[in-house]
């Protein structure tokens, strides 16, 4: 046999001299035997690869199945007591029960108590419609257009009562109670149903837990108790469909994972990157509320890193994310991470944190970039470019996240003071320190230095010493400033009084 018939991949046989027929036969037999072994090896490897892919797909596509028959956990088998609930929530449950309706405590309050966390909110679900709930409670107000809810007001505490949700018909613009967009997002969802249907409409299995005051049992519809023990965040139903119904669920998955110290299940996590751009369909006002929950819950730094990992931060702050990605030094990312770390420390120490400071930091680098562009392209003075950049950045951000004016005004003050911190001569340092937002602006300066902006170290140290001094010490510090910084007092010119016209009479 000539060597030209050998496959290049199988050209591993030693060259032989074919002097006899038996030698040639042995060579051919050996050649075909090696081909057979090679093919078998390829087939086995492909088979193993297919099996691995199949197992991986089954893990990625596996989703918890909602149980039509709930697991009833009697009072003797769980540690939840009525004493752990708000007395007002118990009042709502019993009044609904006395009115002939079914009522359950549901969701986060049950989950948190099982995890040993003190619940903050108590949500009630009932088969009574919002209008029927309003007839039972004089202190009730109906809110919501997309989801019709009843709020029972007890002073500062509000008990939210929702009617059990049912299945809808999908996209039907003529349906007054159910409507969805072309992306599958639910725009209106006032479809009522049974408790089994309501459990299927819940987002995560750990939230599909219902507490009944009839027998004090827990109704577990989606293996939520098991998910809590395994510390998993699992969506109920097909993840892609559920994310399309409400893209905010992607943000909620991140928040629950960090808040409860759990892992997002592979099936729940898999489609997030691909569907992250659906957040652009969410109203900016709702995204503001969700970002507050993400950044002011004591887990902001973890949420920040996880949002960036899953491609969600880019949808919330696209300009800032692009600046961070293009940065060579990594200063911007350190600055944001340090800001969130400091925010977590203050919240965990029961100190106040204003959203104005958080958004001033998140929009600081887009502000600097825009200001620099205006100075270079339009030859604008520094202060004019900075002021115009503020308007541009805040207007651009409002298209993604609608920050209320009371917080944008606070952010503006913090930014303005950053430009005036080095102007300390005369009475300027004292007047600046009396500004309402000065403490926040001073903390902002310290954050810049702490993140690596070393050129501001001397200025930060001066203000730190200045704030420790009494009024006399502060005056001495201002006098000891360099002459070009202290400045000379302005000379005031008085207008000469006009001469009265002389009467020649």
Contact 242, 203 (CB under 8 A): yes
The pLDDT, as a whole number, for residue 148 is 85
The pLDDT, as a whole number, for residue 131 is 92
Q: Where are any strands of DSSP class E within 207-279?
A: 209-212, 218-220, 232-233, 263-264
| DSSP state letter for 311 | T
Residues 259-288 have a mean pLDDT of 94
The pLDDT, as a whole number, for residue 505 is 52
The pLDDT, as a whole number, for residue 268 is 94
Stronger pLDDT, 266 or 180, i.e. the higher one: 266
| Pairing state between β 186-189 and 178-180 | antiparallel
Residues 406-419 have a mean pLDDT of 96
Q: Is the pLDDT of residue 413 over 90?
A: yes
One domain, residues 106 and 206: yes
Q: Is the pLDDT of residue 19 over 50?
A: no
The pLDDT, as a whole number, for residue 57 is 46
- The structure tokens listed for 218 are 């827990």
Using CB atoms within 10 Å of the CB of residue 109, give its burial: 0 to 12 exposed, 13 to 18 middle, 19+ buried.
Answer: buried
Q: Which residues, in sequence order, are CB contacts of 238 under 8 Å at separation 6+?
A: 63
Q: Is the pLDDT of residue 352 over 80?
A: yes
The pLDDT, as a whole number, for residue 379 is 87
Select from 123, 200, 121 the least CA-distant residue to 162.
123
One domain, residues 114 and 154: yes
Q: Does 408 reside within a domain?
A: no
Question: pLDDT exceeding 70 applies to what percent of the chain?
Answer: 77
According to the 3-state scheme, what is the secondary structure of 299-343?
CHHHHHHHHHHCCCHHHHCHHHHHHHHHCCCCHHHHHHHHHHHHH
Q: Which residues, in sequence order, are CB contacts of 186 under 8 Å at separation 6+?
A: 146, 168, 178, 179, 180, 245, 246
User: pLDDT tens digit string along 157-203?
Assistant: 999 999 998 765 544 444 444 444 554 454 445 678 888 888 888 88
The pLDDT, as a whole number, for residue 231 is 93
Contact 425, 487 (CB under 8 A): yes
Q: Does 227 reside within a domain?
A: yes
Contact 249, 200 (CB under 8 A): no
One domain, residues 114 and 212: yes
Residues 494-499 have a mean pLDDT of 64
Q: Which of 137-151, 266-280, 394-408, 414-428 has the lowest mean pLDDT?
A: 137-151
Select from 157, 187, 194 the least CA-distant residue to 173.
187
One domain, residues 33 and 75: no
The pLDDT, as a whole number, for residue 79 is 86
The pLDDT, as a whole number, for residue 504 is 59
For residue 453, the SS3 value is coil
Q: Does 293 reside within a domain?
A: no
One domain, residues 86 and 222: yes
One domain, residues 68 and 171: yes
- The structure tokens listed for 311 are 């491609």
- When pLDDT is cut at 50, 70 and 90, the band that residue 385 belongs to is very high
Name the domain boundary from 13, 32, 61.
61
Domain containing 28 equals 3-61
Residues 449-478 have a mean pLDDT of 94
Question: pLDDT exceeding 90 applies to what percent of the chain?
Answer: 63
One domain, residues 24 and 113: no
- The structure tokens listed for 358 are 């958080």
Q: What is the largest CA-CA distance in the chain?
A: 154
One domain, residues 43 and 117: no
Contact 96, 133 (CB under 8 A): yes
| DSSP state letter for 204 | B
The pLDDT, as a whole number, for residue 2 is 43
One domain, residues 85 and 158: yes
- Supply the CATH number for residue 119's domain: 3.30.460.10
**In whole numbers, what is the pLDDT of the chain averaged over residues?**
83
Using CB atoms within 10 Å of the CB of residue 190, give its burial: 0 to 12 exposed, 13 to 18 middle, 19+ buried.
Answer: buried
The pLDDT, as a whole number, for residue 31 is 56
Q: Does 431 reside within a domain?
A: no
Q: Does 178 reside within a domain?
A: yes
User: pLDDT tens digit string along 84-101?
Assistant: 999 999 999 999 999 999
Q: Does 352 reside within a domain?
A: no
Q: Is the pLDDT of residue 54 over 80?
A: no
Rounded Cα gap, residues 438 and 357, in angstroms: 11
One domain, residues 96 and 224: yes
Q: Is the pLDDT of residue 55 over 50?
A: no
* Catalytic residue set: 121, 123, 203
Rounded Cα gap, residues 416 and 393, in angstroms: 14
pTM for the whole thing? 0.78
Q: Is the pLDDT of residue 234 over 50?
A: yes
The pLDDT, as a whole number, for residue 417 is 96
Residues 110-133 have a mean pLDDT of 91
One domain, residues 143 and 228: yes
- When pLDDT is cut at 50, 70 and 90, the band that residue 21 belongs to is low
Residues 361-379 have a mean pLDDT of 94
The pLDDT, as a whole number, for residue 126 is 94
Q: What's the angle, vertex CA 310, arms to CA 405 and CA 236, rounded to 5?
A: 95
Tell me, rounded to whole angstroms, the distance of Cα 360 from its chain centroid: 17
**The tokens 């929702």 sit on which residue?**
162
The pLDDT, as a whole number, for residue 211 is 93
Rounded Cα gap, residues 413 and 436, in angstroms: 9
One domain, residues 84 and 223: yes
Name the domain boundary from 188, 208, 237.
237
The pLDDT, as a whole number, for residue 32 is 58
Q: Does 242 reside within a domain?
A: no
Q: Does 367 reside within a domain?
A: no
Name the domain boundary from 61, 78, 109.
61
Instruction: Give the number of C-alpha atoms closer than 13 A to the C-alpha of residue 340, restricted to the C-beta side.
Output: 22
Q: Is the pLDDT of residue 39 over 90?
A: no
Number of domains the chain contains: 2
The pLDDT, as a whole number, for residue 325 is 94
The pLDDT, as a whole number, for residue 374 is 93
Select from 362, 292, 253, 266 the least CA-distant residue to 64.
266
Q: Is the pLDDT of residue 354 over 70?
A: yes
Cα 400 to Cα 180, 286, 393, 410: the distances in Å are: 21, 10, 11, 19
Q: Is the pLDDT of residue 438 over 90?
A: yes
């Amino acid at each position: 046999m000539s060597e030209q018939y050998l496959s290049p991949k199988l050209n591993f046989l030693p060259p032989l001299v074919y002097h006899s027929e038996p030698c040639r036969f042995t060579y051919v037999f050996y050649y075909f035997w090696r081909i057979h072994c090679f093919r078998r090896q390829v087939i086995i490897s492909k088979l193993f690869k297919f099996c691995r892919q199949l197992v991986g797909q089954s893990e990625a596509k596996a989703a918890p199945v909602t149980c039509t028959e709930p697991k009833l956990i009697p009072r003797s088998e769980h540690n939840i007591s009525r004493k752990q609930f708000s007395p007002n929530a118990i009042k709502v449950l019993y009044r609904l029960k006395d009115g002939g309706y079914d009522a359950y405590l549901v969701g986060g309050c049950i989950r948190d108590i099982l995890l040993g966390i003190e619940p903050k909110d108590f949500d009630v679900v009932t088969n009574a419609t919002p209008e029927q709930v309003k007839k039972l409670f004089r202190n009730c107000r109906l809110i919501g257009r997309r989801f019709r809810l009843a709020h029972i007001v007890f002073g500062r505490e509000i008990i939210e009562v929702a009617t059990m949700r049912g299945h809808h018909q999908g996209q039907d613009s003529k349906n007054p109670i159910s409507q969805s967009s072309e992306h599958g997002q639910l725009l209106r969802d006032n479809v009522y149903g049974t408790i089994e249907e309501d459990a299927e409409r819940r987002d995560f299995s750990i939230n599909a837990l219902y507490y009944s005051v009839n027998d004090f049992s827990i109704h577990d519809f989606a293996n939520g108790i098991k998910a809590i023990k395994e510390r998993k965040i699992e969506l109920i139903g097909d993840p892609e469909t559920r994310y399309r119904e409400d893209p905010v669920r992607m943000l909620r998955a991140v928040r629950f994972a960090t808040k409860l110290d759990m892992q997002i299940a592979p099936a729940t996590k898999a489609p997030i990157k691909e569907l992250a751009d659906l957040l652009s369909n969410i109203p900016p006002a709702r995204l503001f509320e969700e970002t507050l929950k993400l950044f002011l819950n004591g887990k902001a730094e973890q949420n920040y890193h996880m949002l960036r990992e899953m491609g969600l931060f880019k949808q919330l702050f696209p300009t800032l994310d692009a600046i961070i990605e293009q940065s060579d030094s990594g200063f911007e990312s350190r600055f944001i991470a340090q800001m969130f770390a400091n925010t977590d420390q203050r919240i965990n120490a029961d100190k106040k944190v204003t959203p104005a400071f958080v958004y001033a930091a998140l929009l600081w680098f887009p502000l600097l970039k825009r200001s620099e562009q205006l100075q270079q392209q339009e030859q604008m003075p520094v202060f004019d470019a900075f002021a115009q950049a503020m308007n541009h950045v805040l207007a651009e951000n409002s298209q993604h996240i609608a920050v209320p004016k009371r917080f944008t005004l606070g952010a503006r003050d913090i930014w303005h003071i950053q430009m005036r911190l080095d102007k300390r001569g005369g009475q300027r340092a004292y007047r600046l320190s009396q500004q309402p937002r000065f403490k926040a602006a001073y903390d902002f300066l310290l954050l810049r230095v702490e993140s690596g902006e070393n050129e501001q170290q001397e200025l930060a140290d001066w203000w730190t010493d200045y704030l420790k001094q009494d009024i006399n010490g502060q005056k001495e510090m201002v006098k000891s400033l360099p002459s070009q910084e202290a400045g000379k007092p302005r000379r005031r010119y008085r207008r000469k009084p006009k001469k009265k016209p002389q009467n020649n009479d």
